Structure 1
Amino acid sequence: MYCEAGEPGSSERAGDGRHRCPHEPELLYQRARVSASDERVFCGKLLVVAVLVLLGGFAALSGNWPAMVAGFVVLGAVYTHAVELQHQCLHHSAFTAARPHRIAGIVLGIPLLVSYSHYRVRHLQHHKFLGTPQDSEFFGFDTRRPLTFRMLLRGLFDYGRLLVILREIVRSYRGTWTYDLGPLVDRRGRQIISEYHLLGAFIGTAAALSAVGFGEYVLKLWVIPLAIGIPLHFLVELPEHILCDTETTNVLRNTRTIKGSWFTTWFTNGNNLHVEHHAAMSVPINRLRERHAEVARFGEHVERTYLGFFHRVLSEARRNTKARP
């Protein structure tokens, strides 16, 4: 836990030059390596994704409308969950070796058209600059602006993001793709471009299948679930920093944790334990729960349930909307 200048207890200075508070969590900031057991847990999550995609796909193609709708929702939810698994790969906290993270991360991001390497560069910058003007998260919802219903709806149905992805794909094929948020090593740039080539090939394949008579499969197995997954992903990402203190680098004040249930913890892949994650981002997600007691004690934004969080968000949006002229 780091104190801001002038806060009580800020006389102790940490080795990185920031002020460290005298009474702070002992476990929260400790790093941890990925163990073979952690890797097995993550592989189990990948297996669950594969099973749910098969079940959702079978239901979506069943021809029975209630089953089809259920299948669309399951696929959209699983594609959203896959991006949260991709997020763990970004931090190299899923496998004991480095290389499998990019392989798995690329595959996990395809259904929602998320480039693994581009997301990784932007997301690691988010961790580095959180609480400063340089912070810029990959999915772009600005938590520093006053919250209104218009902002929520714009973020919830941000289908314009698909046009941004198409623009990135076109630039990658043209050879004009560039990174606009700081320096980028050539190797990382080549990886990002190659992944946008892959996403372009995926979209092209879907278009070709539609043109030769398989459009129903593309629509039911990808397009409709994609339309569902975009708002679901927004709802997963929203709690992280909204209504928190955006002017401090203190993770116990600028980030939110939601205790949640086993289901929400699984579905968000531990994204509900977000203070725990930001405090030590390389810790395997399945081991964050053991740090929650310290966050519950020291954290400023700790919720018990998602229902309580969304009630707070809607109340704030209502208040801000009424206050606007």
Structure 2
Amino acid sequence: MIAQDVSIQQALTTAKAYRARDSSKASVAIASNYLISASCIVIVQWASGTSHLSAAGSRALYLLSTVIIASRMRALENLVHEASHHNLFPSAHLHRRLQFLYAFPIFRVLEDYRRSHLVHHKHLGDPQKDPDAVRLYNLGLDRLPERPVWYLLGVPMTGYLTYEYMTTTFREFWESPSSRLSKSVFWVVVMLAVGCTATLQYFAYYYMIPFLVILPVMRYWAEASEHLGLDLRRDFGSSRTNIGFLHTWCINPHNDGYHAVHHLCSQIPFHLLPEAHQHLMKASNEFAKKTAISYGMLETFKQIATKKTIFRKSNRTEQPSIAVSLTQHT
């Protein structure tokens, strides 16, 4: 135990060297998501107005655009996660003041998310206290190896994840007293702009469908990939590193896939996580040996489908001590 504590301390000391925030990188990250989404809309609208594509081609291009736009919404969710650790800007106050750029558009309130997410870090793997573990149990994902096809592919296709989102995070966004005025003003302005420009149809095509249909599936897979199939009682190896192409660009944007490093030291900002990971892989034998790494979605699915998740506690006779909602997720 003493050797393990020393190893953890050495790895943590190494990780703490990568805690520098950078406002310019954070600003570019936020802006890039809007730029990519806007580019998708322009391309699809331009293509649909020409004779270069068949009807089937136009539908395929639109479907691709919704996936890309949903991935940028997922990216904004990851930036909310970064902001909850004050990892975007050097000034902690800026995170709350600028949340209309990255949190309100996806129905998140930073202070609510931060409050519950820090509980996840403090009680990782405890099905009574960790909100993420509570939800994994409620979804039945602790039994994923028994029915992997159903849990990985069947559940996302049922539409239940959209229903769950609407009855938890979306509802709580409006019911929460946090930032009540600013979030209301934001969405009033957005809907007035949509109404005044007669773009409700485009709002539905390019916002509502990606947000309500595709994003819940991406979020579900991302959350499942972080800790399932691992021993959550361990200091090392309780969080998976997902760094494949689809992870990087769709499921875990903005380096959110470097989850092992993040749980070791949550103060490392997103733009330094890859460098910190590479350094730790060389500097810490325990980290390199015990960190689960996946380089693709299929590899992740295989890992979580073939290994049972070991939670910190197994007694589920009591009711969870905290409320469950999507607001609490990474």
Task: Please say whether Structure 1 and Structure 2 have the same fold, judged by a TM-score greater than 0.5.
Answer: yes
* Secondary structure of residue in 2 paired with 1:145: helix
| Cα distance change on mapping 1:213 and 1:288 into 2, 3 Å | closer
Distance 1:78 1:55 in 2: 12
The answer on 1:235 being equivalent to 2:221 is yes
Equivalent positions of 1:162-201 (< 5 A) are 162-169=166-173, 171-172=175-176, 190-191=177-178, 193-194=180-181, 197=184, 201=188
The total of aligned residue pairs comes to 279
Counterpart in the other structure of 1:269 = 254
* Secondary structure of residue in 1 paired with 2:178: helix
User: Structure 1 regions of 5+ residues with no counterpart?
Assistant: 1-9, 13-19, 173-189, 318-325
Greater Cα offset, 69-78 or 150-159: 150-159
Counterpart in the other structure of 1:186 = none
Residues 168 and 196 in structure 1, CA contact (< 8 A), matched pair in contact too = no
Distance 2:135 2:25 in 1: 30
Counterpart in the other structure of 1:184 = none
Counterpart in the other structure of 2:135 = 140
Distance 1:120 1:198 in 2: 22
Residues 110 and 199 in structure 1, CA contact (< 8 A), matched pair in contact too = yes
- With the length of structure 1 as denominator, give the TM-score of the two structures: 0.72
Greater Cα offset, 163-172 or 267-276: 163-172
Select the structure with the greater relative contact order (CA < 8 A; seq sep ≥ 6): 2
Equivalent positions of 1:71-220 (< 5 A) are 71-132=65-126, 133-137=128-132, 140-142=135-137, 145-147=142-144, 148=147, 149-152=149-152, 153-154=154-155, 157=159, 158-160=161-163, 161-169=165-173, 171-172=175-176, 190-191=177-178, 193-194=180-181, 197=184, 201=188, 205=191, 209=194, 214-220=199-205
| Identical columns (%) | 18
- With the length of structure 2 as denominator, give the TM-score of the two structures: 0.71
* Secondary structure of residue in 1 paired with 2:135: coil
Report the aligned-residue RMSD. Answer: 3.5
Counterpart in the other structure of 1:322 = none
| CA-to-aligned-CA distance 1:174-215 (integer Å, 9 cap, x gap) | xxxxxxxxxxxxxxxx42545664676478x28x95799533
Residues 108 and 173 in structure 2, CA contact (< 8 A), matched pair in contact too = no
Residues 258 and 302 in structure 1, CA contact (< 8 A), matched pair in contact too = yes
Aligned partner letter, 1:254: S
Aligned partner letter, 1:154: V
Residues 59 and 68 in structure 1, CA contact (< 8 A), matched pair in contact too = no
Higher helix fraction (1 or 2): 2
| Cα distance change on mapping 1:262 and 1:309 into 2, 3 Å | closer
